[in-house]
Chains A and B, each alone.
Chain A
């Protein structure tokens, strides 16, 4: 540990972090995980891609869904279209936006696609302007934290598109970089 290079302020942060708790695993979790791995591991690996391929077919049996409003944490007044919700973020400073999706019903195998403005990246996905993944929504409010990093001061519109079966809904967010 590089304690000789640390300032008193670093030590203060380190002390805080050292006491940062986390709950222990629930009783029986290890045994269950071990049992699943040994009894189903190989089989699950073989069937993984097969299951993915049939995801859409499984989703076909689910109820019709409806997505309500989108609410954004710390919404600031956007510089562009005033009708859009927006955020203002600093250049090269990670900024987490909480997208809240209200769904009337639980949904499996919905597809979420996030399209980023030029010069903005999603943390963990460097160099990608569009990221797509499957997701499940529970009935009620669902929160998706997205950590954005602006690499240029361009800013622009972020699109979050939710699709399920043949329905889709797109949300727009104005990103302003200062």
Chain B
């Protein structure tokens, strides 16, 4: 197959899954820069496995697993990129200030403050707990989908989800976000 044909085949297989994969990358890494890096690494790796990819029945699930494994395998490399300047405003929540809201400035301010507190609370969770609660409660993944993605048994996922919610509730109650 020619290079152009390879590129076209690759794009046809992966593009329909871009939005979901980008969201997964964001939820795994927690920042724009790291999410973009992870997304890019996935595409490079997947293109190198095009011969395998063309025979996959569900490319979306396969790509998600590859991304997750890439994240775990190279966590050390991605972790290093958590070094960033304070002044760049990349701390969680700060990039959301410009999002338009439906309820006017007061509502937006309240909402932004709530998001910042949630950011801070999520940052206090372990990676395992944070990823499970974000995939399940925010992204709507089913337990079985998380199991397929992470290889972690459903029982463990349930336990992590329960603990993560309990810890979030504790933190958010303490800071007044929840009553």
Measured in the bound complex, the distance between the Cα atoms of B88 and A16 in whole Å is 27
In the complex, which residue of chain A has the Cβ closest to the Cβ of B25? A25
Residues of B with C-beta under 8 A to A131: 76
Contact between B85 and A138, CB atoms less than 8 A apart: yes
Known: A37-B44, A96-B124. A141 touches B6 (CB 8 A): no
Known: A36-B43, A44-B44, A123-B126. A22 touches B36 (CB 8 A): no
Measured in the bound complex, the distance between the Cα atoms of B18 and A133 in whole Å is 29
Contact between A22 and B26, CB atoms less than 8 A apart: yes
Is B55 located at the chain interface by the 8 A CB criterion?
no
Contact between B127 and A135, CB atoms less than 8 A apart: no
Measured in the bound complex, the distance between the Cα atoms of B133 and A42 in whole Å is 35
Query: Which of A2, A13, A96, A123 gathers the greatest number of chain B CB atoms within 10 Å?
Result: A13
Measured in the bound complex, the distance between the Cα atoms of B11 and A95 in whole Å is 42
Chain B 1-28 residues near chain A, CB threshold 8 A: 3, 6-7, 10-11, 14-15, 18-19, 22-23, 26-27
Is B75 located at the chain interface by the 8 A CB criterion?
yes
Contact between A140 and B87, CB atoms less than 8 A apart: yes
Query: Which of B7, B23, B165, B169 gathers the greatest number of chain A CB atoms within 10 Å?
Result: B165
Chain B residues packing against A (C-beta within 8 Å): 3, 6-7, 10-11, 14-15, 18-19, 22-23, 26-27, 32, 36, 39-40, 43-48, 75-77, 79-88, 91, 95-96, 99, 114-115, 118, 123-129, 133-134, 136-138, 140, 142-143, 158, 165, 168-169, 172, 177-178
Total interface residues on A, using CB and 8 Å? 53
Give the total number of A-B pairs whose CB atoms are below 8 A apart. 155
Contact between A18 and B137, CB atoms less than 8 A apart: yes
Chain A residues packing against B (C-beta within 8 Å): 1-2, 9-10, 12-14, 16-18, 20-25, 29-30, 33-34, 36-42, 44-45, 94-96, 100-101, 112, 123-125, 131, 133-138, 140-145, 147, 149
Query: Which of A16, A101, A140 gathers the greatest number of chain B CB atoms within 10 Å?
Result: A16
